Structure 1
Amino acid sequence: MSNRVTAPAATAAAEAPAGRPFRAPAPVPHSQPLGFASFIRTASRNPIEIWGTRAFKEPYIRGAWLGVPNIVVNDPAGIRHCLVENAKNYVMQPLRQRILRPLLRDGLLTAEGELWRRTRKAIAPIFTPRHISGFTEQMEARSVLFAENLAARSEGRTVDASHEMTLLTFDILQETLFSGDIASEPEGFARSTRDFLGSMGRVDPLDLLNAPAFLPRLRRLRGRKSMNFFRSLIAETIAKRREKIARDPDGTPHDLLTLLIKAEGLSNEEIEDNIITFIGAGHETTARSLAWTLYLLSQAPDERALVEKEIDEVLPTLTHPSQWADRLVHTKAAFEEAMRLYPPAPSLNRTALRADRVGDVDIPAGSTLLVMPWLVHRHEMLWDRPDHFIPARFLPENRDKIDRYQYLPFGVGPRVCIGASFAIQEGVIALALLLRHLRFDYDGRKPPEVVQRITVQPDGGLPMRLSRRR
């Protein structure tokens, strides 16, 4: 698109002075358009660097790529129209599918049409409030154990918070998804998961050029071996659980895997695809959001003090972890603000089946619709000081000021993330138990460089020095 521009390294950022909000690092938008070759290089390396200043100021932007019209929609009313009111007119964009479908196959994130509707109907009962409430006890138990172990092995040392949060959410995932009952040693399974996730979300130049699928994508070829091994582990774990259900139905764990196997209408392959989707889209996104929250709190002492005070005073009064997300309002607000600044799903791209119109912009049939939480969440039209960490935006008394369609951490419309409530509960519980006794202080020589893969993540990790609060 002609409006896209390059961006240098992340902006310099220092800990916010008392009483002043912290400006979160991000690639710096530019005002000059990219040339063809420069666009390919930038989009392949870090897609969020392609956006220019117009994209953060205007409600709609029109452009084109390889002759296909591209329409960026930042206006909440336009987002509501396209992704909710007229959602049937917009299907998954081919570029997105070329990147994710070889990995996730027929999982809920990439399935379309009747397959998606059938899968969504089968899986929806698994994420009811009743089931999620039960999972919070497992989230609490694993988070307590993880925090204790982290303190014992790393107090006074610098750790990579991004890596540590991946370990924590993986631990929670193993417990809630498999009850620890996997067809591998936990360390081997964790290593396989890491290798698999490392191959996800990478844009290959051939994808951008709309090259035929039979041409090999070198970046994904490197991950094919780990993907095949990972899938074999998942298939073996499913078979093992089916045997257990047949042998001892009353003694079988009542976890996500059992619920998936018992769901009506899902084949073995579809169960496998959706487990991998939960791991890739759920575990990874929550881990990144937790790490970013720890980083942002470390740079905003006043905000961290509010969260710590709330945890100290409110947490002891709560009787069940399912209450925490509603009662720990400052903790939840910090987590939600982190997801605004670093959205778990930075792009929601579609292709228009038929011509449409939003605002004063025509959307031709076959054009690409770009709804980018990365842009919407930092848009000057929608937010006061959009680049700053201000959790108070998400406190209960302020929440009504945020339009439903200007905050999209879990997407929107029929394809909204089915595990959104699960992720919020997990994030608040994990943060509360980490910060109850521990403090994380950023220890990098420069601000983290922000890159887009399947999620928005810190390139090279988040070095943070760990100490005990009490």
Structure 2
Amino acid sequence: MTPPKPASRADRVSLWGYLRLFRRDILSAQPARLYRAWMAEFRTPFFRSYLCNDPVLVRRVLEERPQDFPKSARITEGLAPLLGRAVFVTNGEEWLRQRRIIDPAFEGGRMRAAFPAIWAAGEAAVARMGTGVVEVEAAASHAAADVIFRTLFSIPIEDQVASAVFEEFRAYQRSQPILNLAAFVPLPAWMPRLRRGATRRSAAVIRRLIAGLTERRAAAIAAGDAPEDLATRIMLTPDPVTGTPFGAAEMVDQVAIFFLAGHETSASALAWALYLLALYPQAQEAVAAEAAGLAPEFAAVAKLRFTRDVFRETLRLYPPVPMMVRQNRGRETFRGRVLRAGAQVVISPWHLHRHERIWDNPDGFDPERWQTEAGKASARDGYLPFSSGPRVCPGAGFAMLEGVVLLALLVRAFRFEVVSGREPVPVAHLTVRAKDGIWLRVSRRA
């Protein structure tokens, strides 16, 4: 039994056929050869795009010379109304300043400080989980949003403002086009863009609600009674170079990306992990046994070794962010091909994580691979669910802690089974989600 994977398109299609496929789903719009190719070039009258699976090229772009391959400005075309100038979309000195302020909030003992809030969100998720046939993507989304609000602003998802942000974000997801076509397919300036009023309205509402939260937190900091959470730490951290902290508008941008990245990606990974455990009951029982004696103590998480490997394997098979787009500043040579300045360079975790020349049994679910030398070697060459290099996600450790704890608590309390005829089909929305949701039969464990 193999986990679901989108069918690949024919090797040759017209440009307009490709664009139609792309609008429907970026994953199934790609040919099967990308799962074994080290590099692929896509040519159109408007642009050149190069997908790189060669580990040497991936390291060059993300780790060795990231300043020469900044993020494509086209990414902001779809996300700017929500994110503004958040760290996810900036480059150069602006990005460096943002990371100097943000990174300390996720360093060292910060995970220990966040653990009680994550545990509380996990217990709340267990209390909310229904039985019978349940759409678990929605449940995972609710749980991940709860984690974000508890760790960022010390409020549960039931808080009036937190609940309003969550509901508005669901509306934003529904109105947002599948991924952002302009980010991956550079269209000529004269070609009309699809503008969605509902998406912009939802983004404006979310930003207004976040602005209210940050204003109240600034007042609490001034009064000396602010809680010691992520929002307080970030707002009090000055840039060590300039000595200035984030301004009010900057903080709204950063909170927006924390919610988008921290909530959307964690929800995707958790839902797919529950599905994989339903598909492989023996692995699910191993997670349940490992979690049976779990205490609400940060040190106890280290004992969840198999659960962590299940979550790693989930991120391999269903990386929340399937593709990353960069743009080369100058002329480059990749595997004997000359890239002109301004070309589009795509790094695809989706293809790297399933690459036939990097992984054994690339499409299979095998948590045990993470304890083998072969698995560890493959990971060094082809595993980047949180990107890598200077632009690696600052919340990567936080996301792993959250995912492992939530998965353990849910599987300890419930048994998850597949529903006949409801196999999920992976598609790329803001993250890798299931086309019609992930439906599982849920029953409470004795």
Q: Which bracket does the TM-score occupy, shorter chain normalised?
A: over 0.9
Q: Identify the match of residue 318 of structure 2 among 328, 331, 342.
A: 342
What are the residue-to-residue correspondences of 1:31-430 with 2, within 5 Å? 31-150=10-129, 154-155=130-131, 157-180=132-155, 184-200=160-176, 202-203=178-179, 208=185, 210-212=187-189, 217-218=194-195, 220-247=196-223, 249=224, 251-264=225-238, 265-312=245-292, 315-316=293-294, 320-324=297-301, 326-395=302-371, 400-430=376-406
Once residues 330 and 381 of structure 1 are traced to their aligned partners in structure 2, the CA distance between those partners, rounded to angstroms, is 26
Residues 117-141 of structure 1, C-alpha deviations (whole Å, 9 max, x = no match): 0000011100012112110111012
Per-residue deviation at 1:216? 5.3
Once residues 164 and 296 of structure 2 are traced to their aligned partners in structure 1, the CA distance between those partners, rounded to angstroms, is 36
Q: 1:350 to 1:145 in 2, by over 3 A?
A: same
The more displaced of 174-183 and 266-275 is 174-183
Per-residue deviation at 1:34? 1.7
Contact 1:331–1:432 at 8 Å: present in 2 too? yes
**Gap runs ≥5 in structure 1:** 1-21
Q: 1:195 to 1:116 in 2, by over 3 A?
A: same
Once residues 219 and 190 of structure 2 are traced to their aligned partners in structure 1, the CA distance between those partners, rounded to angstroms, is 38
One-letter amino acid matched to 1:341: L
Once residues 45 and 422 of structure 2 are traced to their aligned partners in structure 1, the CA distance between those partners, rounded to angstroms, is 38
Contact 1:444–1:462 at 8 Å: present in 2 too? no
**Gap runs ≥5 in structure 2:** 239-244
One-letter amino acid matched to 1:80: R
Residues 180-205 of structure 1, C-alpha deviations (whole Å, 9 max, x = no match): 18984443232122223444563466
Per-residue deviation at 1:146? 2.1
Matched, 1:25 2:4: yes
Once residues 186 and 388 of structure 1 are traced to their aligned partners in structure 2, the CA distance between those partners, rounded to angstroms, is 38
One-letter amino acid matched to 2:256: I
Once residues 86 and 253 of structure 2 are traced to their aligned partners in structure 1, the CA distance between those partners, rounded to angstroms, is 5
The more displaced of 409-418 and 179-188 is 179-188
Per-residue deviation at 1:231? 0.7
Per-residue deviation at 1:396? 6.9
Per-residue deviation at 1:211? 4.9
Once residues 456 and 43 of structure 1 are traced to their aligned partners in structure 2, the CA distance between those partners, rounded to angstroms, is 14
Q: 1:205 to 1:406 in 2, by over 3 A?
A: closer
The more displaced of 351-360 and 365-374 is 351-360
> Which residue pairs with 1:15 in the alignment?
none
Q: 1:328 to 1:395 in 2, by over 3 A?
A: farther
Name the TM-score, length of structure 2 as normaliser: 0.92
State the Cα RMSD in Å: 2.2
Once residues 201 and 263 of structure 1 are traced to their aligned partners in structure 2, the CA distance between those partners, rounded to angstroms, is 36
Contact 2:284–2:411 at 8 Å: present in 1 too? no
Residues 371-397 of structure 1, C-alpha deviations (whole Å, 9 max, x = no match): 101111111111111111111122376
Per-residue deviation at 1:363? 2.7
Contact 2:117–2:147 at 8 Å: present in 1 too? yes
Per-residue deviation at 1:406? 0.6
One-letter amino acid matched to 2:332: D
Once residues 287 and 181 of structure 2 are traced to their aligned partners in structure 1, the CA distance between those partners, rounded to angstroms, is 43
Q: Identify the match of residue 446 of structure 1 among 396, 419, 422.
A: 422
Once residues 348 and 433 of structure 1 are traced to their aligned partners in structure 2, the CA distance between those partners, rounded to angstroms, is 32
Q: 1:121 to 1:206 in 2, by over 3 A?
A: closer
The more displaced of 333-342 and 55-64 is 55-64
Per-residue deviation at 1:246? 1.5
Residues 135-162 of structure 1, C-alpha deviations (whole Å, 9 max, x = no match): 0111012211320332xxx23x211100
Once residues 144 and 205 of structure 1 are traced to their aligned partners in structure 2, the CA distance between those partners, rounded to angstroms, is 38
One-letter amino acid matched to 1:166: S
> Which residue pairs with 1:431 in the alignment?
407
> Which residue pairs with 2:242 in the alignment?
none
One-letter amino acid matched to 1:78: L
Once residues 332 and 122 of structure 2 are traced to their aligned partners in structure 1, the CA distance between those partners, rounded to angstroms, is 47
One-letter amino acid matched to 2:208: S
Count the aligned residue pairs. 438
Per-residue deviation at 1:334? 0.8
Q: 1:56 to 1:398 in 2, by over 3 A?
A: closer
**Corresponding residue SS for 1:91:** coil
Contact 1:25–1:448 at 8 Å: present in 2 too? yes
The more displaced of 129-138 and 274-283 is 129-138
Once residues 118 and 290 of structure 1 are traced to their aligned partners in structure 2, the CA distance between those partners, rounded to angstroms, is 32
**Corresponding residue SS for 2:382:** coil
Once residues 181 and 163 of structure 1 are traced to their aligned partners in structure 2, the CA distance between those partners, rounded to angstroms, is 17
Once residues 177 and 210 of structure 1 are traced to their aligned partners in structure 2, the CA distance between those partners, rounded to angstroms, is 38
Once residues 192 and 444 of structure 1 are traced to their aligned partners in structure 2, the CA distance between those partners, rounded to angstroms, is 32
Identity of aligned residues (%): 29
Name the TM-score, length of structure 1 as normaliser: 0.88
Per-residue deviation at 1:458? 0.5
